[in-house]
Amino acid sequence: MKASEKVRHDVLKAMDDAMKAYADRDMEKALSCYAKDNDFVSIGTGKDEIMRGPEEMKKALQEVYEQTEKFSFKSKVFEVSACGDVAWVSGAGIYDIVAEGEKIKMEGRFTVIFERRDGKWLMVHSHYSLPAEQDDGSVLPEE
């Protein structure tokens, strides 16, 4: 269900707006990109990074801002699909982070699900993962 060009444009703009708000450390703007539902879920790379609802997302963003000097994200979108007022984006991305003066790059993959509410695309689910170290063609991680 490939998204129309308008939906693709609008959803990617919503995603870009969220990433810019993160990088600008604009908590209010960043949180406005998410649905206010308590069943919103964002899954990060750490074992404990499963945020449910706006309060847990706010706490997670506060931790990111406290532990980093810089935090930005660049994405390469693979697909934007949609059905009615729901759209999903998949791709690869790189987090550029500076923490305690050290530059860190986290290359991974993501899926973000949006829902259009009152004409605005809001994130209702996001997931970012880091690929396991494994040989090409192997389904098992290296030991």
CATH number (domain holding residue 26): 3.10.450.50
DSSP 25: T
Residue 137 within any structural domain of the chain: no
- Tens of pLDDT, residues 77-97: 999 999 999 999 999 999 999
pLDDT band at 140; cut points 50, 70, 90: confident
Q: Establish if 68 belongs to a structural domain.
A: yes
CA-to-CA distance for 35 and 78, rounded, in angstroms?
24
Residue 139's pLDDT is what?
74
Looking at every residue in the chain, the average pLDDT score rounds to 93
Q: What is the pLDDT of residue 20?
A: 94
- What six digits make up the tokens of 59? 């706490």
Q: Is residue 59 part of a domain?
A: yes
User: How many domains would you assign to the chain?
Assistant: 1
Backbone torsions φ then ψ of 10, nearest 5 degrees: -65, -40
Over 90: is that where the pLDDT of 141 sits? no
Residue 107 is assigned to a structural domain of this protein? yes
Mean pLDDT of 16-38: 94
Asked, for residue 136, whether it belongs to a domain, the answer is no
Q: Taking the mean position of all CA atoms in its chain, how far away is CA 60?
A: 13
- Summarize the confidence of residues 112-122 as an average pLDDT: 97
Q: Is residue 27 part of a domain?
A: yes
Q: With bands split at pLDDT 50, 70 and 90, how would you rate the model's confidence at 18?
A: very high
Domain of residue 86 covers 5-129
Helix (H, G, I), strand (E, B) or coil at 100: coil
Question: How far apart, in Å, are the Cα atoms of 26 and each of 17, 42, 65, 92, 107?
Answer: 11, 18, 10, 24, 23
